[in-house]
Amino acid sequence: MRHRRNGTLEQFDREFRIGVSRQVRRVDECACCGAEGPIHARGLISRCYHRHSLAGTLDRFPAVSEEERVQAATRAWQRRRDDRLEDYAEMRSWGETREQAAARLGVTEQTAQQYERMLREQVSA
């Protein structure tokens, strides 16, 4: 994340971790066995992907379309934004200033101002 502090785990999205292959992968439930792990392809973790590949049963798990990929990424982004907004609101309710809450979350002053607007809209809605 661009505005997370470098050198801390905060700079990584919760949904993305660096796996053994050093590639960035989405961590999710495997479409085959439900085990949580880095998704290799077709919604499968590496172990299941290779097992189905050897067994010739990969076609049971359709490849994800570009549109679905974009939708999933958008949902993940919205979830992270909502999480941060919730954390921000909580810190503000503890009496922290906008600057303190922004610094703790690792977001810019501009983002904090946007959060303030979103929270005001939530109250008036």
Burial of 115 (0-12, 13-18, 19+ CB in 10 A): buried
Closest separation between CB of residue 30 and Zn ion, Å?
3
Residue from the set 30, 39, 85, 112 that interacts with Zn ion by CB under 5 A: 30
Could you say whether residue 58 binds Zn ion (CB under 5 A)? no
Can you tell me whether residue 45 is helix, strand or coil? Answer: strand
Could you say whether residue 101 binds Zn ion (CB under 5 A)? no
CA 108/CA 52 separation, integer angstroms: 45
Residue from the set 48, 102, 105, 112 that interacts with Zn ion by CB under 5 A: 48
Copy the structure tokens of residue 3: 């505005």
Could you say whether residue 32 binds Zn ion (CB under 5 A)? yes
Choose between 58 and 107: whose C-beta lies nearer to Zn ion: 58
Tell me which stretch binds Zn ion (CB under 5 A): 2-10, 42-50, 63-71, 88-96.
42-50
Exposure b/e, 42-57, CB count within 10 A at least 16 = b: bbbbbebbeebeeeee
Burial of 26 (0-12, 13-18, 19+ CB in 10 A): middle
Choose between 32 and 58: whose C-beta lies nearer to Zn ion: 32
Residue from the set 1, 33, 63, 73 that interacts with Zn ion by CB under 5 A: 33
Binding site for Zn ion (CB under 5 A): 30, 32-33, 48
